[in-house]
Amino acid sequence: MDANVFAQNWTAVVLSAVVAAVAMGGMFAASRLLSSRRPSAVKLSTYECGIPPTSYSWSNVSIRFYILAILFLMFDVEAVFLFPWAVIFLKEQALGNPVPFYAMMMFLAIMFFAVVYGWKKGVLEWQK
């Protein structure tokens, strides 16, 4: 490899790094110069999830929050799996292979029974 080509490639890398560093420094400086500074007790207090802080750190949190979050993640992951499946399904359908269709039907059936099970157990009811 020619030394001149090697130097040109690294020149572009170094130049990009310098431009990035200057841009970041400029953004930090602009933020520091243009931001308003009015400190107050409310701004300096801790903030978490819209709940004002209390004098004690331990509190009871309903398990329903965690169950709802897990259900959300479960169906979010299901939605993520639907997109690649659709691409594979279209490709395999053109070849006459029905396996991806039945695999997704089994997956959706398991998810459906999970919702029915949670519903019967009262997980989806917020207040009893």
Tens of pLDDT, residue by residue over 56-103, are 666 677 777 787 788 888 888 888 888 888 888 888 888 888 888 888
Three-state DSSP class for 48? strand
Domain boundaries, the chain: 61-128
Pick the closest to residue 67 from 12, 119, 7 (CA basis): 119
Give the global pTM: 0.45
Pick the closest to residue 41 from 56, 49, 52 (CA basis): 52
Q: Convert the pLDDT of each residue in 31-61 to its tens digit.
A: 999 988 888 877 777 766 666 666 666 667 7
Three-state DSSP class for 70? helix
